[in-house]
Amino acid sequence: MFFTVSFYISLVIFVFGLAWKVSSWFRLTLGREEEAFKPGTRVSAALRGIFLTLFSSKILRLVKALFCDILFQSRILRESLLRWVMHMCLFWGFLLLLLMHALEKTISYPLFKDYSATLNPFLFMRNGFGSW
């Protein structure tokens, strides 16, 4: 019960923070006021840009960025191998714990028949992901 409530509270805080950050892209101005675009113009330009990107050949660049820059952190790898290894252990450990433990009712139960988080091999997986 405590973990479920904590999870949903943190999810709500995340959504509010994300909404605040995204809204600041459209609320705040940079530069002189007479050159500033109105928020409605910015929102329509952003939606148009998203639509044009998703339904063009640029979608391949977007998928490449998802895998290289987000999932495998290639920019950090170019800076330092040790830094990349430490970051990957944190990132993948957290991501796998989130998927296998926090979201076990929606992910683990449908994927694995007879799933029980406290029995091996699932307990071993959770411990391994946590110590990564």
What confidence score (pLDDT) does residue 11 get? 93
Given a cut of 70, is residue 132 above it in pLDDT? Answer: no
Domains in the chain: boundaries: 1-56, 59-132
Predicted confidence (pLDDT) per residue in 43-73, tens digit: 898 899 999 988 998 899 989 999 999 889 9
**Could you give the 3-state DSSP secondary structure of residue 129?**
helix
What confidence score (pLDDT) does residue 130 get? 67
* pTM score, whole prediction: 0.58
Burial label, 16 (beta-carbon count in 10 A; 0-12, 13-18, 19+): exposed
Backbone angles phi, psi at 38, to 5 degrees: -70, 155
Mean pLDDT, rounded, for 20-49 = 81
Predicted confidence (pLDDT) per residue in 81-106, tens digit: 999 999 998 888 888 888 877 787 88
Looking from the CA of 112 toward its CB, the CA atoms found within 13 Å total 16
How far is Cα 9 from Cα 15, in angstroms, rounded to an integer?
10
How far is Cα 132 from Cα 129, in angstroms, rounded to an integer?
5
**Please, which residues have CB within 8 angstroms of residue 3's CB and are 6 or more apart in sequence?**
102
Q: How confident is the model at residue 21 (pLDDT cuts 50, 70, 90)?
A: very high
